[in-house]
Amino acid sequence: MEVWKKIVVALTFAVILYPLLILLMWSVSEQWMYPNLLPTELDFSNYATLFNTYNLGKVIMNSIIISAVVVLVSMIMGLLPSKFLGTRKFRGKVAAQVVMMMPIMAPGIVILFGLINVFVELGINRTYLSLVIAEVIFFIPYAIMVLVPVFKNYDVGIENQAATLGVGKLSTLMNITLPSVRTGLVVSAMYVFMASWATYLAVSMYAPVGFDTVASLLYPAISNGQYPNDLLASLTVLFFVPSLIFLFISTWIMGTDKVNNRGV
Amino acid sequence: MFDISFLSINGIKKRYKGAKTACLDGIDLELEKGEILVLLGPSGCGKTTLLKIIAGLESQDEGEVIVDGECIDGIATEKRPISMVFQKPYLFKNMTVFQNISFAPRINGRFKTKEEMNEETQKYIDLVKLTGFEDRSATQLSGGQEQRVSLARALILKPKLLLLDEPLSALDANLRVEMRLAVRDICKQLGQTVIFVTHDQEEAVAIGDKVALISEGKIVQCSQPNMFFKRPATKTVARFFGWKNFIECDYDGNGNVDSILGKFNVPDCDLEAGRKIMVVRPESFCEADDGIECTVEQISYLGMKVDYTLKIGDQQIFASMDPRELKRPGDIIKISIKGDAVWVVDDEPDPEPVIPDDVKKGIKGLLSKMKKKE
Amino acid sequence: MKTKISESADVRKIAVILSALVPSLIALFFFFWPLIESIKESFRNFYGDFVGWENYIEAINNPAFIQAFQYTLRITLIVLAVTIVSSIILAMALRRTFIGKKITLFLLQVDVAVPSIACATMMILVLSKTGALSRLLNNIGLLDNYKDFPNIFYNSNGLGVIISVVWLFVPYITLSLISVLHSISNEEEDQAATLGVGKIKRFIFITLPSLKSSIAYTSIMCFACTFASFELPSLVGDQHSMVTLAYYYYNILGSAPRHMESYSISIIVTVITLAVSSLLMYYSLSTDEKRRE
């Protein structure tokens, strides 16, 4: 491999791993004064402190439940439009896709502030429903973004085949269509999950009062600077460990898919 | 007392939006239970469209389809008493061979017990000679194996009507021959009523009890396979089935033909008197001492036979014969026609050669193609 | 003559189309309604009277707004330039097989999994005056006093935002480009090589065009995250002297006299972001469609 490429790869490793490493080290340090390169004292109890002080267990559960619900709703709502856009040809198809993707392209803060009136009028402000809606609007486009290219490789003829064998539409969807786009479903679930996990503003504005997710705790923590570095680091690590877990799981699923040649 | 056919297709017409001519222009067909009907015709003639109309994947503008006394128009595809095998096997990639075959009946509650499902499915796996492949993933099969699974999957449903849309066209030549015999055997064994679509003439006559030749949206001839080689209905049919000789003749309306090759008797012909075309198969000629004199123009030696292009007067004759001696170009040969191997058809204008659009557009077409590639 | 059959088939077709689109329509409803409400409000004053473009004029004439706009625009353009160039270089470096390729690609995916807020934390821990980088330089001997370490965050450069967004997005865009590079064949490039076309020219005229669509598509996310984002710039950008547009909007939202101005600002930001992103996306998708034909 050429020299410049080697340098690039080395740089990539350094640039990506270094901050992660520093974060990890801070999260388990008790005391780390300038200008030491390594913490003078290690302390794994940071995590315990967090849990005890901020009822982190419940907060994490909240995050998981909300993200799971949002993933489910986004995928269900995004599936048929994606299939429609991916498998059919019609004039204005590109324009339709652009319109459906607009929520990701607009500044979230504007829409979120605009939603107050909508929710108040519908009488659902500050409920779980308003929270889910506030997140789902922005995440259905993620699902569409991933699924449309997958459906472009999907041959609708197989549904005709199933129909001629007497298989009903719902059975076809569950047993034939969904399995063949499995990879796309996993990837889009991953993106939506990670995006939902990181959402702060929607939660702080529209979740029921007192309901916190890890993101809604973390953001003020960083911006107010009230947490010491080590606790902050621990919270951050906790914050994105689930994303990593999800990443591992989906990589594993896709890996086995490739081996079995499924959904390809 | 009137005979009700198992399958009746009456007056089917269909025209696609913006098309100059109708895709299907009045199709009438009858089929008995257990019969295999082959729809034959060149690509684009409408045979696949007809099949899709029967299956419910497309709808006709006019006409009706009646299966076993019941009109199936307007019924959703999945509720029709049909099953279909496509040119692409469309196997369910996330399932094994066994699961592919048992899926549809299982979903529809056909099997009362697990044992029944296993037994039935195994029966059909054995029928298509895939014993041992039950647990093979659908992604690990050859083309021929895939089509056999597709066939078993359709047969296990015991449909009133089985539709096959050029299922062998994607297979290589040897496999096609092998599979066509298998398909016919299996269907006959099961007493399955079948409509089989193909553009391959050889395949059509090998598989079908009845063959319907479709051209330009109409059925030109529907009869037993051998009739296409004895009594072609039109010049189009004759041309499609390899009747190479089209000789002008006079027909008297009573079974007598007069042509440059002599006088012949065609007792079954019911055309009116007039100037007709006499058609003769190349294989019908033989060398005879008392035959007509022709000059040899070209020879193709093919081992077991010789293809001659002969000339008599202004007329070219294509003959395929067993030579007593091999002639050379310029030689004189005397030929006669075996038995009653001639037939008479009406004259038709020759079809225009089809020119693809971008060739027609010439330079413009080439340029726009180049632009697209960027 | 259309029979009942073809008519009912048409009805069924329309029903299928509608059912496929309904979920999306519901979601879009909750997107456009607030937007339309904001647009309506932006043309009114505090008492609900229609005042036309007054709010907009007031907003645009405010020097703070202009400053915020310029700041945001500058950062966004720098980010886009740096990200796209880096991603292309990285993708070209990683496209061929080499030992450790799988790990490298996995590492990129890990980066993609990092949420932006977490990135903010990491950048602060690494790049602040007493951060890890400063310590490293100090230990090597390149830095005497931590006060000499450049001010990355509380600085009108916006360097904090730039570095964070670049760190977040380069792997994402790179992965996307690599998958495009994998799926296109090398034949055209090899062919050009045999005709004597040099490496750089080959890259510019053959490889790069095939990446256009993917670059456009992924840059949209990058653009939206920088130009229209609120969270990240508020954490790692300067919060006092320079703010990004979104944060500016957030700030004045609460203040009563400028409340109405906030509507117009929000519409301005939205319209710009939507317009640019929509154009990019339209371009990207159309290119893909043309290639498919």
Task: Give C125 to chain A, closest Cα distance, Å.
Answer: 7
Contact B99, B92 (CB under 8 A): yes
Q: Do A175 and B92 touch (CB under 8 A)?
A: yes
Complex ipTM over 0.85: no
* Residue among B217, B158, B259 nearest B13 (CA): B217
Contact in structure between A105 and C274 (CB atoms under 8 Å)? yes
Q: Do A233 and C125 touch (CB under 8 A)?
A: yes
Whether C68 and chain A come into contact, CB under 8 Å, resolves to no
Instruction: Enumerate residues 6+ apart whose C-beta is below 8 A from A27.
Output: A46, A47, A230, A233, A234, A236, A237
Among residues A233, A241, A214, the alpha carbon closest in space to that of A42 is found at A233
Q: What is the CATH number of the domain that holds B168?
A: 3.40.50.300
Q: How sure is the predictor about A75, in pLDDT bands with cuts at 50, 70 and 90?
A: very high
Task: Say whether residue C3 is in contact with chain B using an 8 A CB cutoff.
Answer: yes
Interface mutation target, options A153, A164, A181, A253, chain B, most CBs of B under 10 Å: A164
- From chain A, the residues in CB contact with B107 under 8 A are 167-168, 171, 175
Q: Does domain C49-292 match CATH 3.30.70.360?
A: no
Nearest neighbour of B59 by CB, restricted to C1, C9, C290: C9
Which residues of chain C are within 8 Å of residue A1 when distances are taken between CB atoms? 96, 98
Higher pLDDT, B326 or A133: A133
**CA-derived radius of gyration, chain C:** 25
When CB atoms are compared, the residue of A34, A93, A110 closest to C38 is: A110
Structurally, chain B folds into a number of domains equal to 1
Domain membership of residue B258 (yes or no) is no
Q: Where are the alpha helices (DSSP H) in chain C?
A: 4-42, 54-61, 63-94, 101-113, 116-127, 132-140, 159-183, 187-194, 199-202, 208-227, 231-236, 245-253, 259-292
Chain A nearest CA to C266, separation (Å): 6
H helices of chain A, where?
A: 3-27, 45-54, 56-87, 93-105, 108-122, 128-152, 157-164, 169-172, 178-180, 182-197, 201-206, 214-224, 229-260
Taking an 8 Å cut-off on Cβ atoms, the answer to whether B59 and C1 are in contact is no
Q: Which residues of chain C from 80 to 139 reach within 8 Å of chain A, CB to CB?
A: 89-90, 93-94, 96, 98, 100, 104, 106-111, 113-126, 130-132, 134-136, 138-139
Touching C: which chains, 3+ CB pairs < 8 A?
A: A, B
- Residue C15 neighbours by CB under 8 Å, 6+ apart: none
Interchain CB distance below 8 Å, B61 and C3: yes
The answer to whether C123 and C132 have CB atoms below 8 angstroms apart is no
For residue C268, pLDDT beyond 90: no
Rounded Cα distance, B363 and B366, in Å: 5
A164 to chain B, closest Cα gap in Å: 5
**Which residues on chain A are in Cβ contact (under 8 Å) with B55?**
164
Res. C9: pLDDT tops 80: no
Neighbours of chain B (3+ CB pairs under 8 A): A, C
- pLDDT surpassing 80 at residue A34: no
In the stretch 153-192 of chain C, residues with CB closer than 8 A to chain A read: 167, 171
Residue A82's nearest CA partner among A245, A193, A192, A195 is A192
Tokens 């696949």 sit at which residue?
Answer: B48
The pLDDT of residue A262 is 42
Alpha-carbon torsion B220, B222, B227, B229, what sign? positive
Partner-chain contact A167 B137, CB within 8 Å? no
Residues of B in contact with A160 (CB under 8 A): 57, 77, 86
- Residue C52's pLDDT band, with cuts at 50, 70 and 90, is confident
Q: Does the beta-carbon distance from A84 to C220 stay under 8 Å?
A: no
| pLDDT tens-digit series, residues C106-154 | 899 889 888 888 888 898 888 888 888 888 888 888 877 777 778 777 7
pLDDT of residue B39: 95
Cross-chain Cβ contact B61/C6 below 8 Å: yes
**CB contact at 8 A, A138 and A104:** yes
Of A5, A18, A244, the CB nearest to C126: A18
Nearest to A151 by CA among A76, A79, A253: A79
Return the pLDDT at B255. Answer: 86
Task: Answer yes or no: do B94 and A182 touch at CB < 8 A.
Answer: yes
CB contact, 8 Å: C224 with chain A? Answer: yes
By residue count, chain B amounts to 374
Which of A204, A208, A227 has its CA nearest to residue A216?
A204
Residue B114 falls inside a structural domain: yes
Residue B1: the pLDDT is 41
pLDDT of residue B137: 93
Q: Across the interface, do A175 and B77 touch by the CB < 8 Å criterion?
A: no
C4 and B62: CB-CB below 8 Å? no
How far apart CA A133 and CA A127 sit, in angstroms, is 10
Question: pLDDT (tens digit, 9 = 90+) per residue, C224-251?
Answer: 878 877 777 777 776 654 566 766 776 6
Identify the CATH number of the domain in which residue A93 sits. Answer: 1.10.3720.10
CB pairs under 8 A between B and C: 21
Closest residue in C to A232 (Cα) is C121
pLDDT band at B374 (very low <50, low <70, confident <90, very high): very low
Residue C55 backbone phi and psi in degrees, to 5: -60, -40
pLDDT, one tens digit per residue, over B131-143 is 999 999 999 999 9
Q: Is residue A173 part of a domain?
A: yes
Tell me which residue of B134, B202, B205, B145 sits closest to B175, measured CA to CA.
B145
**What pLDDT is attached to residue B372?**
53
List residues of B whose CB lies inside 8 A of any A CB.
55-57, 76-79, 82-84, 86, 88, 90, 92-94, 103-104, 107-108, 137, 139-140, 153-154, 157, 163
Give the one of B74, B372, B374 whose C-beta lies nearest to C5's C-beta: B74
Q: What range does the domain containing A238 cover?
A: 44-260
Q: Locate tokens 């019941």: which residue? A: B70
Question: Helix, strand, or coil here: A62?
Answer: helix
Residues 6+ apart with CB under 8 A from B165: B48, B51, B84, B85, B86, B87, B197
Check if A13 contacts C (Cβ < 8 Å): yes
Using 50, 70 and 90 to split pLDDT, how confident is the model at A83? very high
Q: A192-238 pLDDT, tens per residue? A: 998 898 888 889 889 888 888 888 888 888 777 777 888 888 888 88
Cβ distance C281 to A105 less than 8 Å, yes or no, reads yes
B237, containing H or E segment: helix B235-240
Q: Do B93 and A163 touch (CB under 8 A)?
A: no
> Are A180 and B163 a contacting pair at CB < 8 A?
no
For residue B229, the distance in angstroms to the closest alpha carbon of chain A comes to 35
Give the span between the Cα atoms of B104 and C243, in whole angstroms: 62
Q: Which whole number is the average pLDDT over B320-341? A: 83
Average pLDDT over chain A reads: 85
Interface test with B, best of C6, C8, C206, C291 (most B CBs within 10 A): C6
Whether the CB-CB separation of A221 and A233 falls below 8 Å is answered with no
User: Is the Cβ pair A169, B154 closer than 8 Å?
Assistant: no
A165, A168, A180: residue with CB nearest B93: A180
What's the whole-number mean pLDDT along residues A107-114? 84
Q: For residue A162, what pLDDT is reported? A: 95
Residue C44 DSSP one-character state: B
Residues in chain A: 264
How confident is the model over C27-46, as a mean pLDDT? Answer: 86
Starting at the earlier edge strand, list the strands of the sheet with B82-85.
Answer: B82-85, B161-165, B194-198, B36-40, B210-215, B218-223
| Least confident segment among B159-168, C42-51, C92-101 | C42-51
d(CA A239, CA A245): 11
> How far apart (Å, rounded) are the C-alpha atoms in residues A246 and A250?
6
Chain A: give the shortest CA distance to residue C289, in Å: 8
Is A27 among the domain residues? no
3-state secondary structure of B330: coil
Within-domain flag for B330: no
H/E segment holding residue B300: strand B285-301
User: In angstroms, rounded to a whole number, what is the distance separating the alpha carbons of residues A37 and A26?
Assistant: 11
Structure tokens at B286: 């033989």
| Cβ within 8 Å, pair A102-C121 | no
Q: Please report which confidence band the pLDDT of residue B358 belongs to, taking 50, 70 and 90 as the band edges.
A: very low
- Domain enclosing residue B64, as ranges: 7-227
Q: Is residue B184 part of a domain?
A: yes
**Within a 13 Å sphere around the CA of A36, how many CA atoms are in the beta-carbon half?**
10
Arithmetic mean of pLDDT over chain C? 82
SS3 A215: helix
Return the pLDDT at A217: 83
**Coil, strand or helix: which one is C197?**
coil
Omega before C23 within 30 of 0, i.e. cis: no
Give the closest-approach CA distance of B252 to chain A in angstroms: 52
What φ, ψ does residue B87 adopt, rounded to 5°?
A: -65, -40
Q: Is C267 helix (H, G, I), strand (E, B) or coil?
A: helix
Q: Quote the pLDDT of residue C1.
A: 45
What whole-number distance in Å separates Cα of residue C84 and Cα of residue B344? 75
Contact B73 C5 (CB under 8 A): yes
Rounded to a whole number, what is the distance in Å from the CA of C3 to chain A's nearest CA?
A: 23
CA C112 – CA C91 distance, rounded (Å): 15
What DSSP character marks residue C241?
A: S
Q: How many domains does chain A have?
A: 1
